[in-house]
């Protein structure tokens, strides 16, 4: 694709939760000056003109923006399919009615576990009951409902219960996504990375639920990169399908690209079309020309595009190296060592605890 399919509009990094696997930047000082309503309206218009079809309003917690309904209405008026990605803390019936009237198409709610005590402990604040109530409001108003569950050592053994909870809430789709190790999750990796035995049990539970719920609920289960033979394509390929606009107006090809030290591209300085086509941050890892010889000669180069650049950088300090998740990577031991440590620590009560 020569045009982006989706826009992730990260409206704010403020959030009422404190999850140890949070994908928000660790250093938030650079994002305190958020784009105003007029700027976001312009960004949405430019995105539609560029060819974007889907807009995901995300954060942090997008419900903390008072202008959210206005932004949704503008995106709807542009013909974009709109999705709210939310913790659901703050999704009252009144707020939901406003968003319904604005034309919001879909709601995705994050849950941390299937029972209040564990869910609230992972989220860092009492929130489970509010999430359940919000999910019921979503269904009452006729929206499709996706539940997103970030899996890690502390909740992966509850997959069967999570799926039963999703069934009770009449979710249309469940995303069981194992933690990606950037930002806060990287800092807490020793306490979050599950063992192979935990993954095997979770896969069995997912298979059983898919059979039982076939035709009623879609279940997406994403294996953690560290246990895969090959890496996943980052965002469908660097600068190929998606773009992210952060709260301060930076534009990125993926959610963690701010960690790579690449030249900034900002909606304050250039229109989205110019950033997408010509900016160094989008050009740096497009195509195959940047690839090391190992990746360029691989038959999977147009399948996984060399893997995740941010993961390569996080593990090796060099974003242009083969993703160490790949079993062919000369740095693969960095992953196998982490997995070996998880195998030894997953059952130990004294394992390091996540922190925020």
Distance CA 202, CA 198 (A): 6
- Domain definitions of the chain by residue range: 1-355
The answer to whether the CB of 236 falls within 8 A of the CB of 302 is no
Distance CA 257, CA 17 (A): 23
Q: Which residue has tokens 């399908």?
A: 241
Q: Give the pair of three-digit tokens for residue 333.
A: 């031991």
Q: What is the pTM of this model?
A: 0.93
Distance CA 236, CA 157 (A): 29
Task: Say what the pLDDT of residue 350 is.
Answer: 33
Distance CA 232, CA 281 (A): 20
**DSSP β-bridge partners for residue 83:** 56, 106
DSSP secondary-structure letter at 250?
B
* CATH code at 1-355: 3.20.20.70
Specify binding-site residues for [4Fe-4S] cluster. Answer: 15, 19, 22
Q: Which residue has tokens 């003109």?
A: 49
The answer to whether the CB of 254 falls within 8 A of the CB of 313 is no
The answer to whether the CB of 147 falls within 8 A of the CB of 174 is yes
What is the sign, positive or negative, of the torsion defined by CA atoms of 126, 97, 245, 64?
negative
Distance CA 145, CA 167 (A): 11
Q: Which of 315, 294, 291 is nearest to 226 (CA)?
A: 315
Specify binding-site residues. Answer: 15, 19, 22
Q: What is the mean pLDDT of each run of 10 residues along the chain (356 residues)?
A: 90 95 87 96 98 97 98 98 97 97 98 97 97 98 98 97 97 96 91 94 97 96 91 86 96 94 96 96 93 94 91 95 96 95 62 48
Decide the pairing of beta strands 251-252 and 242-245.
antiparallel
Task: Say what the pLDDT of residue 41 is.
Answer: 98
Distance CA 41, CA 63 (A): 17
Task: Say what the pLDDT of residue 9 is.
Answer: 98
Q: Which of 197, 179, 175 is nearest to 188 (CA)?
A: 179
The answer to whether the CB of 132 falls within 8 A of the CB of 169 is yes
**DSSP β-bridge partners for residue 251:** 245
Task: Say what the pLDDT of residue 183 is.
Answer: 86
Report the b/e string of 186-205 with b at 16+ CB within 10 A.
bbbbebbbbbeebbebbeeb
Q: Which of 294, 331, 296 is nearest to 316 (CA)?
A: 331
């Amino acid at each position: 694709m020569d045009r982006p399919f989706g826009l992730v509009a990260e409206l704010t990094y403020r959030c009422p939760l404190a999850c140890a696997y949070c994908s928000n930047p660790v250093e938030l000082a650079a994002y305190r000056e958020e784009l105003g309503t007029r700027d976001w309206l312009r960004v949405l218009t430019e995105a539609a003109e560029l060819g974007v079809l889907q807009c995901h309003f995300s954060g942090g917690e997008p419900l903390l923006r008072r202008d959210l309904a206005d932004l949704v209405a503008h995106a709807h008026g542009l013909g974009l399919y709109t999705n709210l990605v939310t913790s659901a803390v703050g999704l009252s019936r009144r707020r939901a009615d406003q968003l319904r009237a604005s034309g919001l198409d879909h709601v995705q709610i994050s849950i941390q576990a299937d029972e209040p005590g564990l869910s609230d402990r992972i989220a860092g604040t009492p929130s489970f009951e509010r999430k359940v109530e919000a999910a019921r409001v979503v269904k009452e108003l006729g929206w499709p409902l996706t539940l997103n569950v970030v899996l890690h050592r502390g909740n992966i053994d509850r997959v069967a219960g999570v799926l039963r909870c999703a069934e009770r809430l009449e979710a249309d789709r469940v995303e069981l996504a194992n933690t990606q190790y950037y930002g806060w999750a990287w800092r807490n990796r020793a306490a979050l990375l599950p063992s192979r035995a935990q993954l095997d049990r979770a896969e069995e539970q997912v298979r059983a639920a898919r059979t039982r719920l076939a035709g009623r609920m879609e279940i997406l289960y994403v294996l953690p990169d560290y246990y895969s033979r090959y890496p996943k394509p980052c965002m469908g390929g660097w600068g190929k399908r998606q773009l992210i606009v952060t709260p301060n107006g930076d534009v990125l090809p993926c959610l963690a690209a701010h960690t790579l030290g690449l030249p900034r591209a900002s909606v304050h300085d250039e229109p989205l079309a110019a950033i997408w086509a010509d900016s160094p941050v989008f050009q740096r890892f497009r195509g195959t020309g940047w690839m090391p010889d190992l990746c360029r000669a691989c038959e999977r180069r147009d399948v996984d595009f060399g893997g995740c650049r941010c993961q390569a950088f996080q593990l090796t300090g060099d974003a242009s190296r083969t993703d160490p998740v790949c079993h062919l990577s000369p740095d693969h031991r960095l992953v196998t060592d982490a997995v070996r440590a998880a195998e030894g620590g997953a059952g130990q009560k004294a394992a390091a605890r996540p922190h925020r």
